[in-house]
Amino acid sequence: MAAPIVIDSANDPRIAEFRDIRERDLTGRENRFIAEGTVVLRMLAEAHAARRGFSAEKILLLRNRVDGLQSVLERFPASVPVYVAEAKVLDGVVGFHLHRGVLALGKREDRGEAALLDALPERALVLVGCGISNHDNAGSMFRNAAAFRADAVLLDETCCDPLYRKALRVSVGSVLSVPHRRGGKALDLLLALAQRGFAIWTLSPHGKTDIRAIPAAARMALVIGTEGEGLPEALLARFQSARIPQSDQLDSLNAATATGIALFSMASTMGRL
């Protein structure tokens, strides 16, 4: 790791990317993102070291956190600068009281959809999100994907960016460990998966097949829509649909919970758990 550099002014240009982070979303700009908290920092270090398409550009810490973070900081190459500041300065930079005191600026490299799909193993479970606009749900979906060893998460262009600070935090850093890509239209994504031998299963409260009864296949994709409206009818009609049996008294499960149950069920069916 690099020797820590003390920052004593909130206006120091070296840490300008961390300014007012609550108000801004860096992800739209040059594929930069903010990693927050010890767990996410550790995941970023691993992703950086494993060259999983993410790299750290700089780290900004509360001065008194440095000692406790040694083992994490050592995983970053010395070329990644580590800036430290007192609470007053740090809070002035970010624009609110930063309780955790651990931030990093990361960069994502987009290798393209074909590269991601071509790299999938022969036996694969993939999660596809369409129109997931809620950062909590996006983050939870990645956490579930990691828990049940999904090989990739694909998000259509109408989904929010999972590298957005809050989604990344809710995912407990899984956005940095599960291969993923966001972009393109849902139908094109699903056709590309079908062409590669994936059995496509859309999830809907009105799906035709009980999620526990879907047949095992070497390659399976689970497709999730937004919590309110669900998946567009055109997609539901074109591909096989599954449902999680539940009380008809309630609208439906929370999107993140439904994703977790469906992934658990499909991973069980595939004999992966």
Q: How far is the CB of 150 from a second copy (least distance, A)?
A: 10
17 versus 36: smaller Cβ distance to a second copy: 36
Reference 142, options 174, 105, 187; nearest CA is 174
Kindly state the smallest distance separating residue 266's Cβ from a second copy, in Å: 12
The candidate with the shortest Cα–Cα distance to 161, out of 187, 186, 142, is 142
Pair 183, 163: CB distance under 8 Å: no
Q: How far is the CB of 151 from a second copy (least distance, A)?
A: 12
Look at residue 180 and give its three-state secondary structure: strand
Quote the least distance from Cβ 19 to a second copy, whole Å.
27
Nearer to a second copy, 90 or 258 (CB): 258
Smallest distance, a second copy to C-beta of residue 126, A: 16
- Return the number of the residue (195 or 247) whose C-beta is nearest a second copy: 247
The answer to whether residues 137 and 255 touch, using CB atoms and an 8 Å cutoff, is yes
Q: Which amino acid is at 50?
A: A
Q: Which is nearer to a second copy, 39 or 187 (CB)?
A: 39
CB of 215 or CB of 271, closer to a second copy: 271
Q: What are phi and psi of 157, to 5 degrees?
A: -65, -15
- Binding-site ranges for a second copy (CB under 8 A): 39, 140, 143-144, 146-149, 172, 174, 177, 212, 244-247, 249-254, 256-258, 260-261, 264, 268, 273
Contact present, 151 and 179 (Cβ < 8 Å): yes
What distance, in Å, lies between the first and last C-alpha atoms of the chain? 37
Task: State the minimum distance, in angstroms, from the CB of residue 37 to a second copy.
Answer: 13
What is the DSSP track for 66-92?
TGGGHHHHTTS-TTS-EEEE-HHHHHH
* Nearer CB in complex with a second copy: 86/136: 136
